[in-house]
Amino acid sequence: MPYVRVSLMQPKAGRHAEVKELLDDLAGFFAQQAGFIEGYGLYSSDALVGRVTVWESAESADVAAQSNHVLSVRSRLNTDVEAGSHQEHAFEGTRFTPAS
């Protein structure tokens, strides 16, 4: 069963482009990591942004999340998002498939 992480945050006023750039950086890094299946950037009309990543296991997601690169980018994200707005959630996922 895939392991899914969801991260949501509210950029500070005037910092949306910087937050998107940092999320794009993370997306590129995650896409190269062992156990990564797929990911999506999330951008809403109310300026809430985030990402969804799908992994083969919690362990593979944890290895990537604890890398020096990710910790550095997340530190920079913290200065560009509203305090207390960054939410991280993890799930075991089940893929939906179209009905035949």
Structural domain for 84, as ranges: 3-92
Domain count, the chain: 1
CATH of the domain at 43: 3.30.70.100
Q: How many other CB atoms sit within 10 Å of the CB of residue 13? A: 8
Residue 97 located in a structural domain: no
- Note down pLDDT in tens along the chain; length 100 residues: 899 999 999 999 999 999 999 999 999 999 999 999 999 999 998 889 999 999 999 999 999 999 999 999 999 999 999 999 999 999 999 988 888 7
CB contact at 8 A, 2 and 93: yes
